[in-house]
Amino acid sequence: MREKLGWFIVKFILISVPLFILWHWKGEERYLILFNHLLTLLLIKVAGFDIRYFPAPVDIFNNLIPFVSLMIITKQMKLQNRLFRIALGLSILILWHMILTELVYLLHDEYGVSSRAYEKLSVPLYLFSETLPFMLWILFARKQVAGLFLRLKKRS
């Protein structure tokens, strides 16, 4: 079991590092353009908010990468099923990015929340953001995750 888990971690690193490099090279910039267009469409045009600046927490938007990496290296999942779950997980993460950006906007010091209150409220939001890819992976690949971390007893 230890070897299986160790090899899983090595594969995770081997997939994640190139994805992070690609993300920081071009991905983040393109994602922010798409993200700002989506956010503008939803908040200003659809919801009618009069917002010109979003203090987007871009440092955590790279949480897309661990989710994709985990889904890629998870064994025993059909390609069509894997692609569907990756698309669904990315949609959930992007929606969370929009919600988080709106919450940060509402909590931002310029809009009446003290910096101390902002810190107390934002830390749990950021912690949730960082763990969300792993929670989605466990949800979408629970059988494979259980097989990876649980030792199954052999029947006699």
pLDDT at 154 > cutoff 60: no
Q: What is the pLDDT of residues 35-77, one digit of tens each?
A: 877 877 776 666 666 666 566 777 788 899 999 999 999 988 8
Nearest to 65 by CA among 115, 132, 141: 132
| Chain mean position to CA 68 | 9
Instruction: Write a three-state SS string for the chain.
Output: CHHHHHHHHHHHHHHHHHHHHHHHHHHHHHHHHHHHHHHHHHHHHHCCCCCCCCCCCHHHHHHHHHHHHHHHHCCCCCHHHHHHHHHHHHHHHHHHHHHHHHHHHHHCHHHCCCHHHHHHHHHHHHHHHHHHHHHHHHHHCHHHHHHHHCCCCCCC
Q: What is the pLDDT of residues 3-23, one digit of tens each?
A: 778 888 999 999 999 999 999
pLDDT for res 45: 67
pLDDT for res 88: 97
Helices 79-107 & 28-39, crossing angle to 10 degrees?
70
Distance CA 12, CA 148 (A): 13
Q: How many CA atoms lie within 13 A of 130 on its CB side?
A: 7
pLDDT at 153 > cutoff 80: no
Model confidence pTM above 0.95: no
Q: What is the pLDDT of residues 104-120, one digit of tens each?
A: 777 765 556 667 777 77
